[in-house]
Structure 1
């Protein structure tokens, strides 16, 4: 017997956390009976679980790495008809992004139908490093770089120590290219960090996620993760 939210997540419907919300909202039924208790356990082989009246089928887990282009929404649908990340994934399974990148941020994004895997990578206590390249206004001083590395106080708390390196400065344009590595996932964190120290971001790209990179991909292209990469990500998350 397994927890209902885990069964829903493993079926690739959504993440386990969102599955809990669907249960408490009364959108899940087991063998035709609505269930709202989070502690409910079911037999995935025998019990029929339905979400919004649609029975779930256990799907084979799939894992994708996407080079998200700028202007694309990190979602599975958009009410305004804008491009979403799943438009770039060719899979029969229903996948969704692990975390998100803002519409105006490009770069490496993972997608899956494995709710447990998604939850593991997004959990705040697991510290997977992510490296971004930011083009910012102005030329950060050494003290500003140290301030970013120590952590800055944002409205939702102080950021954890980061690794920061100024890669290039353009005096005529008064801009700089800065590499920053963080392991948190606060909303629009990198943009807010640079804004806080007086160097607003003009362009932002996520270059790496843990040991994964965009090597060999152009914007809009994706590839499936190899089994050893999935295994390595799981191990990286919990160490």
Structure 2
């Protein structure tokens, strides 16, 4: 049985910016205590924690390379020490580097895979061992696994792997009452998405969506909040939060 009386606790990787920040803000608004993880920008994570606590919420800063199992174990330890346990892992941490497959520097490929595949595997492994009954793991993919835009080859390959990890882990956690799902955003107005794109490219992607706009980080956070909270019968799924992008 899920414990609905105790405040729930979430750890959000990549929680210091973009979609991660919106997820932290939404979960804190929903009453979660939140571990705000950062890899390279401690100041932004600290500012967000100050914002959450000033509004009456509870949050702590934790850091570390998501691909480093020791650093992430320490992050889990810190959240558990602060709040007594962890119920939800939201893994928004990721990197995107674009380029044609024929020309991509293989060092860039290794960087993408280290963060997006190994990083997801490391934090999911820790979550599988440590989340409380009634918990939820929410990973992140991309709608480009279906739209197959050129130049996204390495990034899409890494996110297809994330979807595979999700589907297997959901079945491996049979009997633990822990759900495992992936959110696959479409074009969303974040620095990660906008970096390197001119206005014409941004406009084309916005026009490709039937709702005729880019997604907002808050749109994606709403999907995460659903999976982290009431969506106990949604498990082993990839949810496309993309405004109807084909």
TM-score (norm 1): 0.27
Between structure 1 and structure 2, the one with the greater Rg is: 1
Bigger share in helix: 2
Structure 2-normalised TM-score?
0.26
